[in-house]
Structure 1
């Protein structure tokens, strides 16, 4: 991120805090909202909402929830009826969380009173109209990270990537060209989209048994056949990229900050590019939304907080604090944000991105079955047809809408 942009954001925060502090009601007891924020950014989130508290007199108690604990935490809250006032939800979790009926529906009067929350303000595909239960908070996508000191340029197609990866793997023992995280359920889907296909049939159910997916399987398994990717389950993708062992990988914008922190001396020796293509270069539209707990004791306060967090300037401030891309269209159109060469690529890729099918339990069922099949082929030598038949049996007909 350009230093100028970060300084502008920080200055804006300080000015806003100073201005709002003067209007905070003196000596008044604060109402307080409990907010669940995923990961380890709760301290920075408290910074972000301080102007809101100073302006409204509504306090915010931020609780950090580890990503791998959110399912259990949410299930327990639904069973007990005791949830937070506001919570962050990853897009892949949204269908299941919405199905619980524990979240406030943001329609009718709520949207009339809070027009900043209407879906049209945000990237297409993140928020829904009828039955909307959340507001886009941050956006994410997948791009190609590559070592520009080891490649003449990024591959434009997956066939070019496979060829370049094979050449890079020929540098010697322990050298590879590409990294496939064996926990990443999205990469095979991206490869399917690149081949002009989808994993959802005309009836709105999951169907992997298509020519486009078969070509994606050929690409995925072929990279292992070429010995272009490490087969080690514990392989560290950051260190692999920094060391040059794996000079290409597909990841989200968050990886850029990790690379800068781990290897500042690599500046100028790596970059990002839109995903390799085929028929298409469509990437994943991911991120997180914010929702209001249906049984909150302070619905008005919770919606006012969502208003604050949905504002483009607030989302730009959050990018300055935490490095997560905005989801508001007006924020993504900010010229200072797009002045960062890497961010300009992220925004370009977001224009050609779509979410995973809204399967209620993608991570635990459909996505898991997909990875189980592919990893059994490349890691344990399971017969390809046998593995794919098991995948089709486990997933075909699963509702995806």
Structure 2
């Protein structure tokens, strides 16, 4: 239970952070194209020990745990002194906004991926000699803004499928669903078992409802914007296929169109067995173990997102960025480089249960030996982040409202996607 309790503590902070990021990422300061870009791409990391003083901002639970990790970097670099400031997620956006406006940014900061576009003009471009080849490609792409690599993935947050193995066995299933067709049939079969109310939990409404359905669109071969992200691609055949599939789960009462969407409601329903399948991130493991008690660990498993044309999941998480105004960029990038090393990422996982972005870190026994993490390791190879544009939150908010209308049968899939495409086109792609 130690692992579950530890994960639960991290989970509360992560869930809070995701909610705040989703709510705030589109507010306030827009990226200013008049910013001074002279320093972008000019920093080079040398091989000498880091020196000087560095300031780093980290958010929520990560901010509380990071100082103990940083001590190892300071031991290897005795002439560097690092001050870690822990900032609540609830005040992160405003603090970033005011500090950038005043030119009082830290040297390094943890950055939610939905903040990357809005504040990107304040970030230094990642040095060309900082090797990113070990980091999950989907996470690396998520730290790019308009083709520029402005951040280095620190940890990732992927959605995979959770299912109750005990109920699945009763329903005649010995594996997780591999395709959309299997997902629907398995949900129907489990729904027939005693105590089960709905075959699968899908959030029908609320914050991030639209983003939560993105793995279905990705897996159908679609995306949220075109290749260079100059145009929204909401109303497409791939989106129609995906949303028709998910909305039919509600229509056929396999999923509950009026489900409780308050934080933790899906976990409670899953742990009780009332809804034996759901899509969740890594913190869901600890939450289920905490809510379900000591016997639940052997009653559930994880599996990759079921495929249509492919099986691509949503990629979240955080990057580390260095600010252009930093007077200690060389040392700052050395710290970011160190944080991305496999051994450091493993140690950070032990402290925080944040999943490593480093692919080599997943070879460590603590990660490789955990059967519930295996699906995440597989899914890391097929994940995609939401568009790094300043209008994403505006479009996502509209998407949440329209998806709720579709899920509850108030509008058709055709009408809903057409409305959302028009709203997205009106919002544009930002600066």
State whether TM-score is above 0.5: yes
Contact 1:166 1:226 in 2 (8 A): no
Matched residue, 1:102: 122
Secondary structure of the 1:140 match is strand
The reply to whether residue 261 of structure 1 matches residue 290 of structure 2 is: yes
Within 2, Cα distance between the matches of 1:334 and 1:357? 32
Within 2, Cα distance between the matches of 1:208 and 1:321? 39
Within 2, Cα distance between the matches of 1:187 and 1:247? 18
Instruction: Report the Cα offset of residue 157 of structure 1.
Output: 1.8
Matched residue, 1:27: none
Q: 1:304 to 1:194 in 2, by over 3 A?
A: closer
Contact 1:207 1:396 in 2 (8 A): no
Matched residue, 2:56: 35
Secondary structure of the 1:369 match is helix
**Deviations 1:28-74 (Å, cap 9, x if unpaired)?**
xx954332212223232111111122332433332333334332222
The reply to whether residue 78 of structure 1 matches residue 78 of structure 2 is: no
Secondary structure of the 2:213 match is helix
Contact 2:196 2:275 in 1 (8 A): no
Contact 2:196 2:276 in 1 (8 A): no
Matched residue, 1:389: 418
Contact 1:357 1:400 in 2 (8 A): no
Q: 1:203 to 1:350 in 2, by over 3 A?
A: closer
Paired residues in the alignment total: 366
Secondary structure of the 2:361 match is helix
Matched residue, 2:261: 233
Matched residue, 2:149: 132
Within 1, Cα distance between the matches of 2:122 and 2:331? 18
Within 2, Cα distance between the matches of 1:294 and 1:311? 23
Which of residues 67, 70, 89 is equivalent to 1:49? 70
Q: 1:361 to 1:87 in 2, by over 3 A?
A: farther
Within 1, Cα distance between the matches of 2:228 and 2:63? 41
Matched residue, 2:110: 88
Question: RMSD over aligned Cα, in angstroms?
Answer: 2.9
Secondary structure of the 2:167 match is coil
Within 2, Cα distance between the matches of 1:172 and 1:336? 36
Structure 1 unaligned blocks of 5 or more: 7-29
Within 2, Cα distance between the matches of 1:121 and 1:278? 28
Contact 1:2 1:340 in 2 (8 A): no
Matched residue, 1:275: 305
Q: 1:173 to 1:338 in 2, by over 3 A?
A: closer
The reply to whether residue 121 of structure 1 matches residue 134 of structure 2 is: yes
Within 2, Cα distance between the matches of 1:258 and 1:237? 10
